[in-house]
Amino acid sequence: MSIFLLTHIIIAVSSLIVASIVFFKPSIKRVGTSYGFIIATVASGTLLLVLNPSNILHTCLSGLGYLTVVTIITIATHVRARKLAEQNI
């Protein structure tokens, strides 16, 4: 297994963990961290795809599934954090 793939997997799993934790303890700052992990995962996935384009369909479907799940969690968290911020004003 290449070091790039291992790094990508660690970033992606960390992204899901961070998004889940932030969902239960929402704040705008933490949501920004979650968005950062999403960007890092997509960037490392793109790098892997450029370095090894052999199985593009599987890669794109996996990436789309990941992106859908983590984006739904992060957007729901963003909405919750905004509502909490409005209540505290």
Tokens describing residue 11: 């970033």
The domain of 65 spans 3-87
Cβ contact 22:33 at 8 Å: yes
What pLDDT shows up at residue 89?
Answer: 67
Of the candidates 59, 61, 62, 69, the residue with the CA atom closest to the CA atom of residue 38: 69
What pLDDT shows up at residue 13?
Answer: 92
What pLDDT shows up at residue 62?
Answer: 84
Please give the tally of structural domains in the chain.
1
Cβ contact 77:69 at 8 Å: no
The model's pTM is 0.82
Tokens describing residue 17: 């963990």
Of the candidates 2, 15, 8, 25, the residue with the CA atom closest to the CA atom of residue 70: 15
pLDDT in tens, the chain (89 residues): 688 888 988 999 999 999 999 999 888 888 889 999 999 999 998 888 888 877 777 777 888 889 899 989 989 998 998 888 888 76
